Structure 1
Amino acid sequence: MIMDSPKLCFVAFIDLLGFSNMVKQDLEAPNGNERYIEKLYDIHQETLAITKSTLDMELNLIQFSDSVVLATPFIKEKFEDFLKVISRYQHDLFCKGILSRGGIAYGKHFYKDGFMFSLGLIEAYRIESNVARFPRIVVSSDLMELIYPEKIHPETLPVIEENDGQIFLDYLSEINIEVLNSQRDLILRQAQSMNTSIREKYIWLMEYINHKRADIDFGITRFK
């Protein structure tokens, strides 16, 4: 059987944080009280629609359990659009009360009929699992240097460089103040969790929000 060859692609891997609790809350709830399954499916469909109607971009968007993979052919002129799609995806998740983290990389990638075989995915997953750590999607430094060899990227790129040198998607750049206010108490409560892993994620989130919005002051900051 003759198959298409893997193509060089931009690839993003996203992990939905707290997914097991979402599943339990939905599937153990009384009929008709499901929350997260509809939210996630709606965001999935909206992302595909935006990509096709607005950006004219070829995009593979696959979700299995708590893992989301997005990939598009490696076209330098489409890199900024790809980042904006993923940033919008993470933004929409946050607005629905869902935190996520991930990695963005590049490499040979093949997907067809539910079958995926991808070197780009392996690198994106490595970034998510070893580098991202907090509710952020980190862009591969190798990829940034490849696209912007002079280490100067356009101001329209939706990214922030953190103090640890990592570049991540600025998904709260256009966040609604009402959304942030509605989640303030939850964020503060989780930042005091006895679970160290949960606590550090929400402390980071508070610092990120402080950096973006002076009118929601958690009293700490860490960004350049």
Structure 2
Amino acid sequence: MIILAQFTPNQNFKYALMMETTPFNLPNPIPKQYVAFIDVLGFSDLVYKSQHVQLEQYFQTVTEILSEMKRENQKIQSLNISDSIILITPDDLNGLKRLIRAVRKIQRKLMFKNILIRGAVSYGEAFFDDAHNIIVGKGYIRAYQLEAEAIYPRVIIDPSIISHLAMDRTELMDSLNKSEQFNSHSNYIFRHNASTNIENDAIFIDYAYALKEEDTKISPLITTVYNNIKKNLYSDQKFYAKYNWLRNYFVGCITQSLQLTADKSRISVLKDWIRKFERL
């Protein structure tokens, strides 16, 4: 449930006066930036079925993450409108990395609440006026349009970003996946290989790798995801493709993690999880 702030008459007058006296200035040209547009899957069902707890968890989680980014001055502009989250960062490789890192954090935090998201990261003209809550630009529109093309619970990367950075796909993957922010088991972008049983139809943010710990313990998120898939995979045909993709994605990620570890205890646990996911 969205709770609107309550203002005293004096506060209302001051807010109205501020809106009247604060001019809106659209820069010309509009700066080119990276934009992420994220949408919550199944949000209308949460609203119509009055899933108060999950709705409250969604808004609380997103509010906390966006507030944390502002406190840490991460140079990320953000806007949350109902089931949509918009993030904007400056036009440089570090800006793109910050944006992807923020998206991954939102993905994993919401997955712990059994809330799946879909979205896209694009590049182009984008301007956000925080004082007036106005967002405009071709980059924003492009990210909004691409979100539907993600299809599954993932956030895809606009292929035009590769051209913008004057790279090929391999160079982009190497640039993003070798960040000092993450260890060898972690990637910004998902790497397809022979062990992944999902179609190589898009470049997307790899949010499962960030959720595996480096010792014999396995992230509790895997249990959460497994139970969520088990509950929904065969509940309705309209959910099947989404949860089948999620199952295959996690099987692929766990398999890749298995190939990178020599710890016998971890190998045993990972093999057990692969068997459990594949049996679904």
TM-score by length of 2: 0.68
Pick aligned residue for 1:36 from 54, 57, 61: 54
Letter of the 2:164 counterpart? L
Return the structure number with greater helix share: 2
Matches within 5 A, 1:183-202: 183-195=225-237, 197-202=238-243
Distance 2:124 2:25 in 1: 18
Higher relative contact order (CA 8 A, sep 6+): 1
Distance 2:141 2:118 in 1: 15
Aligned to 1:96: 113
Work out whether residues 57 and 72 of structure 1, in 8 Å CA contact, stay in contact via their aligned partners in 2.
no
Work out whether residues 161 and 168 of structure 1, in 8 Å CA contact, stay in contact via their aligned partners in 2.
no
Work out whether residues 87 and 99 of structure 2, in 8 Å CA contact, stay in contact via their aligned partners in 1.
no
Aligned-residue Cα RMSD (Å) equals 2.3
Identity of aligned residues (%): 24
Residue 251 (structure 2) pairs with residue 210 (structure 1): yes
Q: What whole-Å deviation, never above 9, does each CA across 1:75-99 have from its counterpart, x for those lacking one? A: 2332112111111111111111100
Q: CA deviation at 1:161?
A: 4.2
**Residues 148/11 of structure 1: CA separation in 2 closer, same or farther (3 Å cut):** same
Distance 2:205 2:134 in 1: 28
Aligned to 1:178: 220
Return the structure number with greater strand share: 1
Work out whether residues 114 and 224 of structure 2, in 8 Å CA contact, stay in contact via their aligned partners in 1.
no
Aligned to 1:15: 39
Aligned to 1:164: 200
Aligned to 1:81: 98
Aligned to 1:65: 82
Work out whether residues 101 and 128 of structure 1, in 8 Å CA contact, stay in contact via their aligned partners in 2.
yes
Letter of the 1:121 counterpart? Y
Secondary structure, aligned partner of 1:164? coil
Q: CA deviation at 1:165?
A: 4.0
Aligned to 1:124: 143
Q: Please say which of residues 169-178 and 5-14 is displaced more in the overlay.
A: 169-178
Aligned to 1:107: 124
Which structure 2 segments of 5+ residues have no match?
1-22, 180-186, 193-198, 212-217, 256-269
TM-score by length of 1: 0.83
**Residues 193/74 of structure 1: CA separation in 2 closer, same or farther (3 Å cut):** same
Which structure 1 segments of 5+ residues have no match?
none
Q: Please say which of residues 146-155 and 89-98 is displaced more in the overlay.
A: 146-155
Residue 62 (structure 2) pairs with residue 3 (structure 1): no
